[in-house]
Amino acid sequence: MSLLRNKALRGVMTQEIEQVAEQEGVSPEFIRQGVAAGTIVILHNSNRENVSPVAVGQGLRTKVSARLSAKILGAYFYGDQAGFITKFDEK
């Protein structure tokens, strides 16, 4: 069991809980209860600087992480026959 979940189970409000509550527009108590129940997870790497924690789970906004290549975007925006060339196509 994680340290953050242990604190949430004891009713302790952490800085991460307060930060994600503000980001999500919900109360810190809602986040704490979700973490304690295991329905909300707070993603945070304390070994990295300038990284904000993010909460994922029940009752929170949907997060999408997508990486699209220039070739795919070019085909989508300009059509397959547009001759969109990326530096990877050039030989």
Residue 24 in any domain: the answer is yes
Residue 67 in any domain: the answer is no
Residue 78 in any domain: the answer is no
* Most confident option among 28-32, 53-57, 65-69: 28-32
Residue 71 in any domain: the answer is no
Structural domain boundaries, residue 47: 3-57
Measured CA to CA in angstroms, residue 32 lies from 25, 51, 58, 65 at distances of: 14, 20, 12, 25
**Total tally of structural domains belonging to the chain:** 1
Strands 54-57 and 40-43: antiparallel
Over 70: is that where the pLDDT of 75 sits?
no
Q: What is the pLDDT of residue 10?
A: 95
Over 60: is that where the pLDDT of 60 sits?
yes
